Amino acid sequence: MNSFKHALRGPDMVLGAWLELGSCNVAEVMVANGWDILIIDGEHGPGGLEDWVTLSRTVTAAGGTPILRLPDADETMIKRALDRGFKNFVVPMINTAEHAKQVVSAFYYPPRGHRGYAAPVVRGSGWGSDTAYATHTSHHDLTIMLQCEHIEAVENIDAICAVDGIDAIFIGPNDLAASAGHLERL
């Protein structure tokens, strides 16, 4: 079971931080000094998918839990990150329930979703060594957090929160303030 997803539902405090630097050394030091989770920032941080995989491996090896904030809600990037073994996600700029449903669907195989199937050949299934897990169980281990950071999202927040498959909502205060006309206050 995904320990982060379990921790979200439990009573214990989980300490997390944004990993804005693409440094495995920084990631390792942060976990060694008590951070339980590190959010690898694929939206504003450096690097690309393979760099984030390397950071994820470092965080995991150090005893922490990696979370990937995707650059955007692109379904191809979601699929590629899942195929490389990421289980915990923050998806930015979700403004409507319809968009939330489409994004959540991209994380799951049919019939629940529309994710493409490549379990026999990708890291997320142990390079094919555990296709049964990838096919039938992996969806239980996903943590999907949507980031609401626009005034339109605030107007639709109840409907967004009602979408099945969302584990948490992040509020993006800077973009939210900007969309509400308060950029000068940041």
Chain segment 13-57, per-residue pLDDT in tens:
889 999 999 999 999 999 999 999 999 999 999 999 999 999 999
pTM for the full predicted model: 0.92
User: In the prediction, which pLDDT does 71 show?
Assistant: 98
- Tell me: the pLDDT tens digits for 161-171? 999 999 999 99
- Give bridge partners of residue 123 from the DSSP assignment: none
Using the predicted structure, report yes or no on whether residue 173 has a pLDDT greater than 90. Answer: yes
User: In the prediction, which pLDDT does 131 show?
Assistant: 73
Q: Which of 44, 136, 140, 182 is catalytic?
A: 44
**Does residue 6 carry a catalytic annotation?**
no
Query: Could you tell me the two tokens for 4?
Result: 């982060």
Coil, strand or helix at 51? helix
Which domains does the chain show, CATH number per domain? Answer: 3-185 (3.20.20.60)
- Give bridge partners of residue 170 from the DSSP assignment: 147
User: In the prediction, which pLDDT does 10 show?
Assistant: 82
